[in-house]
């Protein structure tokens, strides 16, 4: 395991490979998003980083938690709410694009099949 990376004042755990939250599992130009896991209150680049480094199972965000600032842009270091994130494939602040393929993993992070 590598040392956590600080992004926009937040500590991102797991297996990050750079200061924009890309990790050993997802490292394309668009993989610049970290998520706050509600089970532990820690930021991770992806579900696999959490699975490999946390000492507990992940818990998804509930349907009533859509206003929670739980997504961190690796480009600008600002957070977005779950509602803002699922409405687009770009940062609500800097406009930088996120990997649209992340939508295939929403069920791992959010407690509804379609958010």
Q: Is the residue at 12 inside a domain?
A: yes
Look over the chain and give the mean of its residue pLDDT values, rounded to a whole number: 94
Q: Is the residue at 27 inside a domain?
A: yes
Structure tokens at 46: 């992806």
pTM over the 0.75 mark:
yes
Helix ranges restricted to H, 13-114: 47-53, 82-86, 106-109
Q: Is the pLDDT of residue 115 over 70?
A: no
Domain of residue 80: give its range: 5-109
Q: Is the residue at 115 inside a domain?
A: no
Q: Is the residue at 39 inside a domain?
A: yes
Q: Is the residue at 104 inside a domain?
A: yes
Count up the domains in the chain and report the number. Answer: 1
Question: For the residues 13-22, what does the mean pLDDT come to?
Answer: 93
pLDDT tens column, 3-17: 899 999 999 999 988
Burial category of 90 from C-beta neighbours within 10 Å (exposed 0-12, middle 13-18, buried 19 and up): middle
- Map residue 77 onto helix, strand or coil: coil
pLDDT tens column, 23-64: 999 999 999 999 999 999 999 999 999 999 999 999 999 999
Q: Is the residue at 114 inside a domain?
A: no
Q: Is the residue at 60 inside a domain?
A: yes
The contacts of residue 112 (CB under 8 Å, 6+ apart) are: 63
Q: Is the residue at 68 inside a domain?
A: yes
């Amino acid at each position: 395991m590598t040392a956590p990376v600080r992004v926009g004042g937040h500590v991102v755990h797991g297996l990050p490979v750079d200061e924009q939250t890309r990790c050993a599992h997802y490292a394309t130009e668009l993989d610049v998003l970290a998520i706050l896991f509600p089970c532990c209150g820690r930021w991770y680049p992806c579900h696999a980083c959490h699975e490999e480094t946390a000492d507990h199972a992940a818990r998804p965000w509930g349907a009533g938690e859509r206003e929670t600032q739980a997504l961190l842009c690796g480009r600008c270091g600002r957070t977005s709410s779950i509602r803002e994130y699922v409405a687009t494939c770009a940062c609500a602040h800097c406009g930088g694009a996120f990997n649209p393929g992340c939508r295939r993993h929403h069920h791992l992070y959010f407690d509804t099949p379609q958010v």
